[in-house]
Structures are given as C-alpha cells and as structure tokens.
Amino acid sequence: MHHVDAINIEELRGIAKRRLPRFAFDYLDGGAEDEFTLRRNREAFQHLRWRWKTLVDVSRRTLATRLLGAPSALPVVVGPTALNGLFWPDGDLEIARAAAAAGVPFTMSTVSMSLVEDIAREAQGRLWLQAYVFRERAITDAIMRRALDAGFECVVLTSDFPVPGKRERDWRSGLLPQQRFTAATWLDILMHPRWVAAIGRHRPRFVNVERELPFGHNVNAYVGHNMFDPSFDWDDVKRFRDVWPRKMLLKGVLRVDDAERAVAIGLDGIVLSNHGGRQLDGAVAGIEVLPEVARAVGGRASILVDGGIRRGGDIAKALALGAEGVHLGRATTYGLAAGGSAGAARALEILADELDRTLALTGCPDVAALSPDLLVRT
C-alpha cells in the first residue's frame, strides 16, 4: 500500500512499520513500561459516546477556528516529536511543510534535526517551539532567542521530563539509554537498505543544540545527559515567561491546580498531556481531566490536549469537552514515516475529512457548536 491510498491513520502506521527498521518504528510507536497509559489514551476517547442533535441544517460546515488568538484552518497543532530525521530525510522540515500547507501551526522540537532558521525559511506558516529545559539553561535560552529572531510565535515549555520514562522497547533495541545497538538491531537495519541509503545521506543530528555547544562536543551524548533537569520548577517557568515576549504554553499539565497556577503567572495556555504515554505509565489521559480543567480556566487560557488522537472524531470530542484544539503527535509522524511531507499531509487530510463528517453527523455546522451535552461517558 502507498500512503496516498491510506484511508485512516492506522493504515499509515502500517506503512511506517514496513518502511522503518524496528528500532526506529519502536521509538515512534512505543510507550513507557507496560504501555498501559499508551493504550489508555486511546480507550479514554472510545469511552466517550456521541448523543447527536438531529435535523440540524449542516449543509454548510466549517472546520476553521482560532488557536492562541490567530486563525487556523483546523483545530489542530502538529505537535513536537523527536528524531523525525530517522523517519524521513529532513523529517522536521517535511512535516513542517505539511502543516504550513494545511494551514495549521507546527511545533518544532528542541531536539529537531533541522535548524530553527531553516524551518522558518522553508516551511513558513505558524511556527511554535517546544522547549526542553536543559540543565545548562543557556542552551535553552539561546535556542529560544534564535526562534524569536526567526519569527516563531509561541514557546511550548515541556514540564513532564524531570527524568526519562522507562521506554522498554528502546532499551531492547539499544537505542536507549546509551545508544548501543544490539546485534539483532544491526541485522534488522541491514534488512532495510532503502532506509539506510536515504537516512545515511542526511546523518540526522540535534543541530540546534549542536550549534550552541563548543566545537568538538558530542551532541548526542550531551543531549542524552542534559535534556532533562529534575530541578526545573515554577520559578524557572516565571523566568522564561519574563524573557519570552510572545505566546507561551505549558505542556505536561494533568491537574486543575497546576493549570490555575500556569494561568496566574501569565502563561497563555496549557497542553493537557501525559507525553503520549512515554513518561509515567499509569498516568491519566489528558482527555479525562479536560472537563474539570475547562471548568476552572476555560475562557481565561487556551486549553490544548494531546494523547491518543487517531480520528477526526477524537478531535471533535476534545473540542466538545472544552479544548481549543489538539496537539497531534504519532498521527502525523506515522504519515511522515509513510511518505514524507505528502504522508504527513495525507494524515491531516484524513483527520480533516473525519472531523467534517463528525460535525455533520452530530448536528454541528462548525466546531464552535460542539458542546459537552453531545457526549456521554460510558
């Protein structure tokens, strides 16, 4: 199957699985420990059932909305994913181009394998920066300054990474924690010669971090030891808020009190997230805490949610419960791994079509008409 023939996100996932060596697919697909939270992120959406309004004129429908105060063609942000250069040559650039073409914001990871400046020049569109707070704060500060100069409109501070999650698929392959591949991993890589030829020519590296390090530093080793900081706290968030003059979100929130604190110190919004089930196994899903967070801070802050979104109907459910939009992670990255920019574009096209159908079938002419009374939790 070719990515253009995929009729849902799961089929793009299947194409990605066939294209990639096992270690790369497992990095993209996997979660922490028993992957209970990874599965729960999907199940939480499946336990929300529609109770539609019938006989509503839905002959004209619009998916367009406003995210962080600016227009977006869909209530969707392409969220930050790492190691995109392992999935397709210049993967970060490719997925950023797809987001720009679809008229939705793109969130570049701190550990992107394309430069801030290249993405700003090549992709254009609405650009957000996901910021990991390095132990050496000057690294994060420098990347944020470059993003500011390049015209990025928003920083998404990631708060849920004091230590890495125990991602056991990556331990088995040898990708983590030391990047020492097993013999089985090397054999599997050799069984994917087209991938080796494509990726080998581009040598993916953490180029934005590398630019800030003294010459001769091993950037992979540096990132592996410094990307997480157990001391990162609310005082740091306040400092980043003071130095970044544009929009700022806090990602990794799962509690009302943390959401309220983020709003109180001047952040523009939050992303309800358990890091795609990749950090603490046994965490609640963002969609499960969305109703109470929306009651507490809705109207005062932008609320986005991520985790487990594989259907346009999932996006509609998030909006019905009070989210302004969703962050996509694996859904668009499966598309990238299946077909580069065109594959990521196909993922967005699939989700837009499903969202449009959901609006029609629930009696909502536009996304603003989605409301909690349309859903029943089972």
Buried b (16+ CB within 10 A) or exposed e, 32-64: bbebebbebbbebbeebeeeeeeeeebeeeebe
Which distant-in-sequence residues (6+ apart) come within 8 Å of 174 by Cβ?
23, 180, 181, 182, 185
Q: What is the DSSP letter of 53?
A: P
Q: Contact, 370 vs 319, CB < 8 A?
A: yes
pLDDT in tens, 1-18: 888 799 999 999 999 999
- Alpha carbons 168 and 221: distance in angstroms, whole number: 20
15-19-25 Cα angle (round to 5): 90
CATH numbers and ranges of domains, the chain: 3-377 (3.20.20.70)
How confident is residue 309, by pLDDT bands cut at 50, 70 and 90? very high
Q: Is pLDDT at 226 greater than 90 in this prediction? A: no
Alpha-carbon distance of 124 to 245, in angstroms, equals 20
Helix axes 286-297, 36-46, angle to 10 degrees: 60
DSSP 98-140: HHHHHT--EEE-TT-SS-HHHHHHHT-S-EEEEE---SSHHHH
Cα dihedral 87→89→90→91 (10° resolution): -20
The overall pTM is greater than 0.95 = yes
Contact 120, 150 (CB under 8 A): yes
b/e code 147-161 from CB counts within 10 Å (16+ = b): bbebebbbbbbbbbb
Query: In 3-state terms, what secondary structure has residue 237?
Result: helix
How sure is the predictor about 239, in pLDDT bands with cuts at 50, 70 and 90? Answer: very high
pLDDT digits (tens, 9 = 90+) for 100-120: 999 999 999 999 999 999 999
Distance, CA of 204 to chain centre: 19
Looking at residue 290, what is its pLDDT?
98
Q: Which of 2, 225, 275, 327 is catalytic?
A: 275
Of 22, 80, 125, the residue nearest 332 (C-alpha):
80
192 classed as catalytic:
no
Residue 184 pLDDT:
94
User: Does the structure show a pLDDT above 90 at 176?
Assistant: no
Question: What is the model's pLDDT at position 220?
Answer: 78
Interval 66-100: pLDDT, tens: 999 999 999 999 999 999 999 999 999 999 999 99
Inter-residue contact 123 to 148 (CB < 8 Å): no
Per-residue pLDDT, 299? 93
Distance from C-alpha of 189 to C-alpha of 336, rounded to nearest angstrom: 19
